[in-house]
Amino acid sequence: MRPVRAIVSVSDKTGVVEFAKELSNLGVEIISTGGTARLLKEAGIPVKEISDLTGFPEIMEGRVKTLHPKVHGGILAKRDSKEHLKAMKELGIERIDMVVVNLYPFKETVAKGARLEKIIENIDIGGPTMVRAAAKNYKYVAIVTDPKDYPEIIKELKETGEISLKTRFNLARKAFNLTAHYDALISDFLYSIDENGDEIQCRELRNPLTITFEKVQDLRYGENPHQRGAFYREVFVKEPCVTRAEKLHGEKELSFNNIYDLDGALNLVLEFDPQADGIACAIIKHANPCGMALGKSVEEAYEKALKVDPVSAFGGIIAFNAKVTSEVAKLITERFYECVIAPDYDEGALEILKTKKNLRVLTTKGLEGLERKGIDSPFEYRRVVGGLLVQDRNLITVDPEKIKVVTDREPTEKEWKDLLFAFKVVKWVKSNSVVYAKDGVAVGIGVGQTSRVDSARCAAEKAKLMGLDLSGSVLASEAFFPFRDSVDEAAKVGVTAVIQPGGSIRDKEVIEAANEHGMAMVFTGIRHFRH
């Protein structure tokens, strides 16, 4: 297909003057609108106004300018259909062989915090309509939506005199992907506000579900070297997260597993407010914490977290909820870690960490949005073959006033503090899980066993192996105890208080076990399964 006539109407004007000039030199007639037409005319390129083509002026502040049969007839006509050609001749419709269009900057307008009225005005109507029409008719029409494609199109025209069917088909695929992304962005934004434009915290589990993500980068591979991988992000997320984090150092790119572990580590430390709760340090390995502690300083928090399991910490991910200092940076560089993520680093710390060329150092640029109401990214997605599981993010927090003491003895003040700490930690451990905690340190972490009592035993054995004393510790379970055996195991190692959701048909038996051992036990009514 050799183009004779092209509509050029773009919001992103990158390279459009040079592209249009090349098209014009190749004998292509340029039809344009509004600001694009003015820009091309100023560059000395012959341009025909869209109103000259349609015989109808642009109206309603530009809302209606290309929605006309002489535009869409020229785009959609089948060149090998006698009926279509006859209609074009009778109605004076000229063929349009190329459509060069990109869309109003809806995403950018939202990102700038514009008022709802301006955001609505940046919902493109005529653009997507032309894009879809041209893409549908790719057999005869080239649809160009990305300035990056301009050089290759000109090269192909100069070398062969036409745009091949293969190129037109690939451009059409790209165009439909663009309009699908654009519409999904609009839908996603509108579901995040009410009719007055105010943000809302809850979004519907709508049907059908339209979601869209933008590619951040290709990854070296997925979970394993034989799997391809890429990292995508939601568009309108503002809360502190790995997706928004900036990499400050590290010669190697982040891997699939790095990003997944960074997400878990960051979410764990974000459970704790550095002012109210203390400075938190989490060390994650294979999606599970192998160290977690609170401290009065980042150095203290790190050293306590590392003592939980220094063997597993090798090659792990570290997260902090406070600025990293030079002192803790020195300690970090004494061992091998994959990544560190924190809200900030002092100048000396960053220089020290940069001495480890393969250590990836990331910042979340502060902890604004620490309360994480879930407005930005309210859902979690989990793929299954042929489908998608969708759920609300687990953002619920335990209200201490609503926790029920179910044993004869109430927890002491110290036990209460450790119980609340442990229950926040166990939320981010793969199920079945238990956490032993003492003095703001997760001294034993039982990960992902198919039996809860096995999780309790494994955590206790690991603590013993690391030389950690569990006497006077508390135990948190992310789900109810189906039997008393886990409580009996906990008593053997010196646990004095237990926090769990409750809700088992054997709760009475479990409570009796706690009373027999002189333990305090509390029910939260909240389960934290993490598969």
The rounded distance, in Å, linking the Cα atoms of 512 and 506 is 10
In the Cβ-directed half-sphere of 201, how many Cα atoms lie within 13 Å? 7
Is 142 exposed, middle or buried, given 0-12, 13-18 or 19+ CB atoms closer than 10 A? buried
482 preceded by a cis bond (ω within 30 of 0)? no
3-state SS class at 322: coil
Catalytic residue among 136, 307, 330, 414: 136
The rounded distance, in Å, linking the Cα atoms of 443 and 221 is 34
3-state SS class at 70: helix
The rounded distance, in Å, linking the Cα atoms of 95 and 142 is 12
Q: What are the residues whose beta carbons fall under 8 Å from the beta carbon of 413, sequence distance 6 or more?
A: none
Torsion of CA 498, 501, 507, 509, to 10 degrees: -20
Catalytic residue among 41, 48, 181, 286: 286
- Cβ–Cβ under 8 Å, residues 179 and 130: no
Distance, C-alpha 251 to centroid of its chain: 23
Is 411 exposed, middle or buried, given 0-12, 13-18 or 19+ CB atoms closer than 10 A? buried
- Catalytic, 517? Answer no
- Catalytic, 286? Answer yes
3-state SS class at 238: coil
Parallel, antiparallel, or unpaired for β 5-9 and 98-101?
A: parallel
- Cβ–Cβ under 8 Å, residues 449 and 432: yes
Give catalytic residues, as residue numbers.
136, 286
